[in-house]
Amino acid sequence: MGRRNILIKCFAAVWIFLLAVTIPYSVYAEDITETEKAVVFLLDASGSMKTNDPNRYAIDSIAQFIYTLPSNYKIGFVAYNAEVCTIQPLLDNTHRSGIMEAAEAVRYTGYSNAGAGMDQAVGMLSACSAAEKDIVLLSDGECLMEDEAATALSYTLYQEASAQAAKDGIRIHVIGLGEEMEDTENSIFQAAVKTGGGMYHSPQALEIQTSIDSILQGQFQVRQMTAAIIDAGEEPVKMEIDMPFANASTVRVLLTSSSPIQDLTTNFNAEGARQVNGERYSLIEIDSPKGNRIDVHFRGTSGNQVRITLIPEYWVVTKASVVYKDHVPEAEEALVYDREAEITYTFYDMENDNIQLWTEEYFTHSKLSAEIGGEIREGTLEKGQIKMCETVTKSCINEVSFHCMEFPANILGISTVTVTLEEPPALPIEEPEGIPGVVYGIAFLILVLIVLIVSIAVRLHKERKPVVIPENDGRPEPGKSSYAGRLNIYITRTASGYDISPLSYDLFRLPSTRVVSIAEILVSCGIRERFEGADRIFISSGQGHSVILTNQSDCCIMKSGEILMKRKSYQLFAGAKVDIAFEDEISELTFQYRELKPSEMY
């Protein structure tokens, strides 16, 4: 090795030893850009709705829809019978109760002029400047007027309005109510076909809520978390709900039921809140919650279920910091250090950028995609931060924006951030003859020190006993409560094609310290067929006669339309129904957790 290279190594050693070659840089966020969206709910208020929706469940479904949508949506409402009978222009988040006042005043009567209704809804959206525009139509039948000529005119207007919607980028989603709407060839559904919207069928009025859920999650990608599904009894319900959304901009708590919800009171810590009550729904809108729990008290109707859903919203400022790690290159002809930049992205509340977001365990391993120079790179949250590494060969300035399609909360705005990367420093230049001997002396002493440290480390490494790392299949810690129930299991599909009769597995016979996998349960039931991934789905005991489901597999697991994520645990109460599609993408089963009375445990 030449004298020049020796000098470079010496100076590099000094650099590393004295400065650790780690220099942090703070990079500040740019302005947040807001995406405004608009939707019109279009309701068929013709006389036939008296038969198909005698209890006016459609009105409560409208409430569920408008109060679940994030606050960056403007919402309008149109109802029609023989003519357009109700119009509520687009309103912002603070005036949604006006939509419900208009909807609750609607009466089912007369003919069905869907053409006039659709024309009004399309015109309302065409005139607004929202980036995304949608119409949700709920109808129980085709255009029907007092005579054939009027019916044909209404149908023509419906087709023309649908074509205009497609031209203006407006999607139309159609919910068909009743037996007549089972056939998706029905002309009312053609609006969805023309505009790329969704088609949904609700045979009974009670099932409108299921279609609304599908639209919210499938079409609008609204992120919501089912906090609890409660069987109401004679006594008032008092419960404490975990809320992993402290420091969110807003959290909506929506209670829905097929029967009245009465005497609702709540207790929580937040900067502000408001409550809206309907016949079969209640909404608590919480501004800047500070705690991670909500106390809820209410009365339901015995024999009915109450569903509690949390809808979190965030406005986010992104900040970034850069740490450089410089290394001496192997190539002797190199002129600069090899430089690697570790960029840490941290996320803060827009109104108070001292509050760091998403540090809760709920968000660990959540995905955010960063767009850097047109390239998409996926990042994973750990303790509220995303770290990415990049090799730096020259100075550059990157505009970094984040996309949140897979994130488990509603992000209404997230800032871009400018990251400036500095080119690697030059290697020390070889000095001419006559370099002072003190320089060589310092370099020599430092090298001796490094050699001494390395030799001690090597010796300690040799003396260290090997550590045996135990195998871990991801099995969670056992619960402390007793089991008190049974699993009813229905294997709906197998790789072999064999039919398997329904099964049951008595959890109450297990000790509370036992954690059992789905694979072990199936073997205990006499099933010999293999279900890929079943050995990494675990059941353990939970408080309040519940069980805890922990997913460590790559199976697709759903509960009440909600996908249960990998490496997370979920509490299941009595009546909870879980669908599992196993890793072979063929085998499927459904199980339902049932709580048993003491007299049934024998």
pLDDT digits (tens, 9 = 90+) for 456-500: 766 665 544 443 333 456 789 898 888 889 999 999 999 888 888
pLDDT in tens, 414-450: 999 999 999 999 988 765 555 565 666 787 788 888 8
pLDDT, position 211: 94
- 26 & 38 share domain: no
* pLDDT score of 290 more than 60: yes
- Residues shown for the chain: 602
Query: Considering only CA atoms, which of 258, 248, 350, 347 is closest in space to residue 294?
Result: 248
* pLDDT score of 347 more than 50: yes
- List the end-to-end C-alpha distance of the chain, in Å, as a whole number: 83
* pLDDT score of 8 more than 80: no
Q: Which residue has the tokens 């353990």?
A: 540
Q: Which residue has the tokens 């922990």?
A: 550
Which backbone phi and psi does 428 adopt, to 5 degrees?
-60, 140
| Domain end marker among 181, 203, 221 | 221
Q: How far is CA 104 from the centre of its chain?
A: 31
- 94 & 142 share domain: yes
- 8 & 89 share domain: no
The burial class, CB within 10 Å (0-12 / 13-18 / 19+), for 441 is exposed
| Domain end marker among 378, 405, 421 | 421
C-alpha–C-alpha distance, residues 172 and 468, integer Å: 60
The burial class, CB within 10 Å (0-12 / 13-18 / 19+), for 252 is buried
- In this structure, what token pair is assigned to residue 317? 């400022």
Give the CATH number for residue 516.
2.60.200.20
Compute the average pLDDT of residues 237-246. Answer: 90
HSE (side-chain half, CA atoms, 13 Å) at 241: 25
Query: Considering only CA atoms, which of 129, 596, 45, 32 is closest in space to residue 348?
Result: 32
- 376 & 386 share domain: yes
- 23 & 39 share domain: no
Q: Tell me, yes or no, whether 184 lies in a domain.
A: yes
* pLDDT score of 41 more than 50: yes
- 73 & 190 share domain: yes
C-alpha–C-alpha distance, residues 378 and 317, integer Å: 19
Helices 114-126 and 148-167: crossing angle in degrees, nearest 10, is 20
Q: Tell me, yes or no, whether 323 lies in a domain.
A: yes
Rg of the Cα atoms in the chain: 31
C-alpha–C-alpha distance, residues 398 and 375, integer Å: 11
- For residue 540, the enclosing domain spans 485-600
CB neighbourhood size of 377 (10 A): 13
Which amino acid type is present at position 524? Answer: S
Banded model confidence at residue 332, pLDDT cuts 50, 70, 90: confident
- 415 & 562 share domain: no
Q: Tell me, yes or no, whether 363 lies in a domain.
A: yes
- 123 & 96 share domain: yes
- 37 & 21 share domain: no
pLDDT, position 1: 43
C-alpha–C-alpha distance, residues 223 and 70, integer Å: 9
Banded model confidence at residue 5, pLDDT cuts 50, 70, 90: low
Q: Tell me, yes or no, whether 446 lies in a domain.
A: no
Which residues contact residue 369 at a Cβ distance below 8 angstroms, ignoring those fewer than 6 apart? 376, 377, 378, 379, 402, 403, 404, 405, 406
Which amino acid type is present at position 310? Answer: L
- 168 & 44 share domain: yes
Banded model confidence at residue 21, pLDDT cuts 50, 70, 90: very low
| Domain end marker among 405, 421, 437 | 421
- 37 & 164 share domain: yes
Query: Considering only CA atoms, which of 114, 22, 15, 32 is closest in space to residue 417?
Result: 32
Q: Tell me, yes or no, whether 255 lies in a domain.
A: no
- 149 & 47 share domain: yes
